[in-house]
């Protein structure tokens, strides 16, 4: 396994390292959009100073562009799709989001969980959020070739399949240009597991164009 693949595999492994939920903003009502992010360590600022992760950078971008939206980060390091599914109902009730960003699945692959279960969990989470009146953005992750070409292909296809069957929006790969780019060795923390602060703006750029279109559609 080459260094690039080691880094990407590590990003999945590190997602199981610590469990901590962080919420940066609470909905204030008034009819403005509420964006709920449900993810793992890749969205939970693992190993970063507070405010450096791509989710708080999203808050800053929205403010700069004078888009009156509230961002709620309910990401937990180490979370799986089954964990996210178990806690989603309460999050929907508490925050009443207009938009839900689902960034889960990497830990399912790490733990060797059945692909059918991952697909079902993401599908049911998407449908639950839509039933609650939210638009959904599914953010995918990829696994390196050493998982086997068949597994790699089928895992990557889950996110596209769920987005297609539920008519949700899709960002195929959160770490595009980071784990698979020429600067892969410098864009991860010393543990070679989690993206550095320098990588977070690129992660935001991978997500923001699609999310911005969704916000503009309201």
* 150 catalytically annotated: no
216 vs 26: CA distance, rounded Å: 21
* 194 catalytically annotated: yes
Choosing from 77, 79, 108, 194, which is the catalytic residue? 194
- List C-alpha distances in Å: 27 to 115, 152, 200: 34, 38, 24
174 vs 129: CA distance, rounded Å: 21
For residue 16, give both structure tokens: 């199981």
130 vs 168: CA distance, rounded Å: 9
* 95 catalytically annotated: no
Choosing from 41, 43, 75, 77, which is the catalytic residue? 41
Strand order in the sheet with 169-171: 70-73, 34-39, 99-103, 135-139, 169-171
Q: Which DSSP helix (H) or strand (E) runs through 11? A: helix 3-14
90 vs 207: CA distance, rounded Å: 25
18 vs 28: CA distance, rounded Å: 30
198 vs 47: CA distance, rounded Å: 12
- Residues noted as catalytic: 41, 191, 194
């Amino acid at each position: 396994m080459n260094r690039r693949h080691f880094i990407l595999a590590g990003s999945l492994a590190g997602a199981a390292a610590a469990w901590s939920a962080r919420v940066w903003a609470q909905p204030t009502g008034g009819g403005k959009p509420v964006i709920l992010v449900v993810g793992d360590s890749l969205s939970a600022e693992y190993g970063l100073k507070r405010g450096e992760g791509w989710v708080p950078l999203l808050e800053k971008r929205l403010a700069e562009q004078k888009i009156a939206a509230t961002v709620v980060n309910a990401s937990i390091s180490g979370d799986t799709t089954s964990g996210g599914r178990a806690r989603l109902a309460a999050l929907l009730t508490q925050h009443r989001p207009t938009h839900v960003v689902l960034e889960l699945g990497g830990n399912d692959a790490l733990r060797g969980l059945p692909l059918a279960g991952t697909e079902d969990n993401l599908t049911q989470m998407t449908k639950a959020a839509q039933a609650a009146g939210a638009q959904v953005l599914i953010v995918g992750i990829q696994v390196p070739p050493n998982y086997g070409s068949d597994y790699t292909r089928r895992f990557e296809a889950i996110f596209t399949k769920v987005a297609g069957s539920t008519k949700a929006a899709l960002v195929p790969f959160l770490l595009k240009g980071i784990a698979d780019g020429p600067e892969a060795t410098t864009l991860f923390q010393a543990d070679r597991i989690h993206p550095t602060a320098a990588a977070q703006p690129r992660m935001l750029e991978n997500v923001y164009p699609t999310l911005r279109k969704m916000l503009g559609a309201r």
